[in-house]
Amino acid sequence: MIAQTTRNNLRRILDGSHRQMFIGGEWVDALSGAVIESRNPANGALLATVPAGSQADIDRAVSAARVAFEGPWSRFKPYERQVLLLKIADLFERHWDELSLSDTLDMGMPIARTRAGKNRVLGMLRFYAGQATALHGETIANSLPGEIVSYTRREALGVVGAIIPWNAPTAASIWKIGPALATGCTIVLKPSEEAPLTPLLIAELMAEAGVPAGVVNIVTGTGSNAGAPLASHPDVDKIVFTGSTATGQSIIRASAGNLKRVSLELGGKSPVIVCEDADLERAVPTAAMAVFANSGQICIAGSRLFVARAIHDEFVERLGAFAKGLRLGDGIDPGTEIGPLISGRQRERVLHYLGEGPAEGATLVAGGGRPDRGDLAQGHYIEPTVFAGVTDTMTIAREEIFGPVIAAMPFDTIEEVIQRANATPYGLAAGIFTQNLSGAHRISNALKAGSVWVNTYHAIDPAVPFGGYKMSGYGREGGIEHLHEYLNTKGVFIRID
């Protein structure tokens, strides 16, 4: 059960009240007065209304971020930024029930999963805190005549614009805010209009921790009215975006005005390869949840399942049984394993793909539609679905569905499956199941993906870079490389003779 204190803390979310956005250290409404509704995808209930920000609101947020960057925030020493991040982490730890429940209500992920994200988010904040005092330049020997000392400085880029998706609001927010604070940047964050409430709770915690006014700003609104102006804003030095490849391409074009730095974490159609020697007791549930976790609404979903032909039929049978045994329901129920999709529009999109599978010759093994139980009727639910008899050219094997849909295909040789796994415009992630160490290295080295997991999936650590190849984007989140994305490198030469 959800603790009563947490329910009391979240009454403002549950009762359909109005929430303001956070600009320059103040809670404000959109200058236009327009609002957006946030509804619970499990039952359609109104959670809250938030401001529908626009160009004018982005302008004032960017202005506040610029003033903060050039003002008091610029005088914070690395140790002071570290202390601040550690204080934020402590506040997150104390308020984790509230944050996890907010994510569940706003975007549907089961409470068991949002609660389980605690260590990842706290780990990110404390990793960034540690890096705040570890960033440095280098003294470099040069070949110039005379005595000239040369060295580099790592300097904060400036104002960062961040646009995040709805499928993991807390983690996505911290993946943008954390490195900005560690490096001394300021940030304007635009959450998805589908799930804007948790970032506003995060803003409250930032203020409570003592983050100076204007350093972190949260502007709610749609992608076209608030996201696009942020991406093209001439006073934003860097844009970071997580979302669809098509939107990422638009952001690249919008960034050209002032050649702002761009980092993109985009879509995927990730392969999972199950070799003949795989441990099926581990591989079946892990491969299933590589897609079904968060109802398939995750960019790294391992939705193309390649299974060695010798074990294909058994594996698919077990996978179908596993899918049929998963419990659908309201994410607030601790027993729920699969929650709703984010919206009716997303549900209809996934239903379209569920029709495409059989139409192109795939065989339905499990799921395949909307559940008809009465308590699920008001939500945006889709049954965990497994297709077999899929070929590489079918729509469900080529396009990112962003729903709980697995396309299973047999393979005969390692050389063949590597070629087929790489035959996609995406390259975000991949999974391998094998007990052969040499095979694991051989396949993982050959796959064109930013993250490769062997005998596991979804493993993400703050110290390890995460990002994509090809149409899955560029730049990295996590690791030292992530911090460098928020820094400029300056070369300095001093003649001393």
- Residues assigned a catalytic role: 265, 299
Return the closest-CA partner of residue 190 out of 46, 76, 62, 45: 62
- Separation CA 279–CA 282 (nearest Å): 6
Structure tokens at 166: 């709805």
**Amino acid (one-letter) located at 207:** A
Cβ atoms of 98 and 9 within 8 Å: the answer is yes
The residues, any chain, with a CB within 8 Å of residue 157's CB and separated by 6 or more, are 183, 185, 237, 238, 261, 486, 487, 488
The residues, any chain, with a CB within 8 Å of residue 441's CB and separated by 6 or more, are none
The phi and psi torsions of 26 (rounded to 5 degrees) equal -125, 150
Return the closest-CA partner of residue 57 out of 18, 36, 38, 29: 29
Return the closest-CA partner of residue 191 out of 212, 171, 168, 219: 219
Tally Cβ neighbours within 10 Å of residue 445. 9
Cβ atoms of 16 and 46 within 8 Å: the answer is yes
Cβ atoms of 4 and 21 within 8 Å: the answer is no
Cβ atoms of 216 and 203 within 8 Å: the answer is yes
Return the closest-CA partner of residue 30 out of 3, 49, 48: 49
The residues, any chain, with a CB within 8 Å of residue 246's CB and separated by 6 or more, are none
| Alpha helix (H) residue ranges in 95-189 | 96-107, 111-116, 118-132, 169-183
- Separation CA 431–CA 310 (nearest Å): 19
- Separation CA 481–CA 117 (nearest Å): 23
What sign does the dihedral 367-266-23-216 (CA atoms) show?
positive
Cβ atoms of 40 and 47 within 8 Å: the answer is yes
Cβ atoms of 334 and 112 within 8 Å: the answer is yes
Measured CA angle at 218 (ends 214, 222), to 5 deg: 140
Residue 409 is inside which H or E element, if any?
strand 405-411
